[in-house]
Structure 1
Amino acid sequence: MGCGSCSSGGCSTDGTAVSGCGSKGGCGTGGCNKMNVFDWLSHMDVPTGQRFDVVEVKFKGGRKEYFRNINQLEFITGDYVVCEMASGQHIGTVSLQGELVRLQMKRKNVVFSDDMHVIYRVASEKDLDKHTQAMAREMPTLYRTREIIREMKLNMKLSDVEFQSDNTKTTFYYSSEERVDFRELIKSLASEFKVRIEMRQISLRQEASRLGGLGSCGRELCCSTWLTDFKNISTSAARYQNLSLNPAKLSGQCGRLKCCLNYELETYIDALRDIPTVDAPLKTKKGVATLQKTDIFKKIMWFGFDKDTNWYPVAIDKVLQIIDLNKKDIIPESLEILTPEPEKSLEKGAGRLNSDLENLDKKYSEEQKKKKKKKKNRSGQNKNNPNAQGKPQAAAAPNQPAGK
Structure 2
Amino acid sequence: MSCGCKTSGDSAHSCGPKKTASGCENVNTCGNSYKLSVFDWLSNINNPAPNRCDFVEVRFKNDRKSFYKNVNNIPLHIGSVVTVESSPGHDVGVVSLTGELVKIQMKKKKFSEESALKIYRQANQKDLEVWQEARKKEDGVKLEARKIAQRLGLEMKVTDVEYQGDASKITFYYTADNRVDFRQLIKDYAGSFRTKIDMKQIGFRQEAAKVGGIGSCGRELCCSTWLTDFRSVNTNVARYQQLSINPQKLAGQCGKLKCCLNYELDSYLDALSHFPSSSTTLETEKGKAFCIKIDVFKKKMWFAYVENSIAWYDFDIDLVKKLISKNKRGEKTPPLEELKQPESSVQSIDLIQENNMDRFEKKNRGNRNKNNQNRQNNNQQGQGQKRNRPERQERTEKSENPNPHTGNQNKQQKPQPQPKAAVEKAEVNTDADKKPQNPNKKKFKKKYPPKKDKNA
After TM superposition, the score normalised by the length of structure 2 is 0.71
Give the aligned partner of residue 452 of structure 2. none
Q: Contact 1:2–1:15 at 8 Å: present in 2 too?
A: no
Give the aligned partner of residue 34 of structure 2. 33
Q: Contact 2:279–2:291 at 8 Å: present in 1 too?
A: no
Distance 1:331 1:238 in 2: 35
Q: Provide the aligned C-alpha RMSD in A.
A: 3.2
Q: 1:146 and 2:146 equivalent?
A: yes
Distance 1:48 1:82 in 2: 28
Give the aligned partner of residue 446 of structure 2. none
Letter in 2 for 1:199: M
Give the aligned partner of residue 66 of structure 2. 65
Greater alpha carbon shift after TM alignment, 319-328 vs 364-373: 364-373
Q: 1:3 and 2:5 equivalent?
A: yes
Offset, 1:71: 2.0
Other structure's SS at 1:118 match: strand
Give the aligned partner of residue 251 of structure 1. 251
Q: 1:300 and 2:300 equivalent?
A: yes
Unaligned runs of 5+ in 2: 380-423, 425-456
Offset, 1:256: 2.0
Distance 1:330 1:266 in 2: 36
After TM superposition, the score normalised by the length of structure 1 is 0.80
Give the aligned partner of residue 373 of structure 1. 366
| Residues 201-234 of structure 1: CA deviation (Å, up to 9, x unaligned) | 1112111211112222222221111111111222
Other structure's SS at 2:88 match: coil
Greater alpha carbon shift after TM alignment, 52-61 vs 271-280: 271-280
Give the aligned partner of residue 268 of structure 2. 268
| Residues 242-288 of structure 1: CA deviation (Å, up to 9, x unaligned) | 22223332222222222112111111111121111143432323443
Other structure's SS at 2:185 match: helix
Give me the identity figure in percent: 43
| Residues 106-158 of structure 1: CA deviation (Å, up to 9, x unaligned) | 11111112x52112222234322222111101000000111111111122111
Aligned pairs (5 A) from 1:30-179: 32-46=33-47, 49-113=50-114, 115-179=115-179
Distance 1:119 1:206 in 2: 28
Letter in 2 for 1:42: S
Distance 2:355 2:232 in 1: 54
Give the aligned partner of residue 215 of structure 2. 215
Distance 2:368 2:5 in 1: 62
Structure 1 residues 171 and 316: CA distance shift in structure 2, 3 A: same
Q: Contact 1:283–1:289 at 8 Å: present in 2 too?
A: yes
Q: Contact 1:156–1:180 at 8 Å: present in 2 too?
A: yes
Distance 1:99 1:110 in 2: 15
Structure 1 residues 327 and 9: CA distance shift in structure 2, 3 A: closer
| Residues 324-356 of structure 1: CA deviation (Å, up to 9, x unaligned) | 2223332222335445677x9xx9xx99xx99x
Structure 1 residues 363 and 164: CA distance shift in structure 2, 3 A: closer
Distance 2:162 2:276 in 1: 54
Q: Contact 1:89–1:166 at 8 Å: present in 2 too?
A: yes
Give the aligned partner of residue 25 of structure 1. none
| Residues 283-327 of structure 1: CA deviation (Å, up to 9, x unaligned) | 323443321211124321112335363432211121111122223
Other structure's SS at 1:57 match: strand
Structure 1 residues 100 and 248: CA distance shift in structure 2, 3 A: same
Distance 2:234 2:159 in 1: 26
Structure 1 residues 381 and 341: CA distance shift in structure 2, 3 A: closer
Which runs of structure 1 show a deviation greater than 6 angstroms over 4 or more consecutive aligned residues? Answer: 362-366, 381-385
Distance 1:234 1:363 in 2: 43
Letter in 1 for 2:62: G
Letter in 1 for 2:84: C
Give the aligned partner of residue 288 of structure 1. 288
The number of residue pairs the alignment matches comes to 365
Give the aligned partner of residue 327 of structure 1. 328
Distance 1:191 1:9 in 2: 37
Greater alpha carbon shift after TM alignment, 311-320 vs 58-67: 311-320
Distance 1:381 1:242 in 2: 59
Greater alpha carbon shift after TM alignment, 327-336 vs 360-369: 360-369
Greater alpha carbon shift after TM alignment, 260-269 vs 237-246: 237-246
Offset, 1:239: 2.1
Structure 1 residues 18 and 378: CA distance shift in structure 2, 3 A: farther
Unaligned runs of 5+ in 1: 21-31, 386-398, 400-404
Other structure's SS at 2:332 match: coil
Letter in 2 for 1:255: G
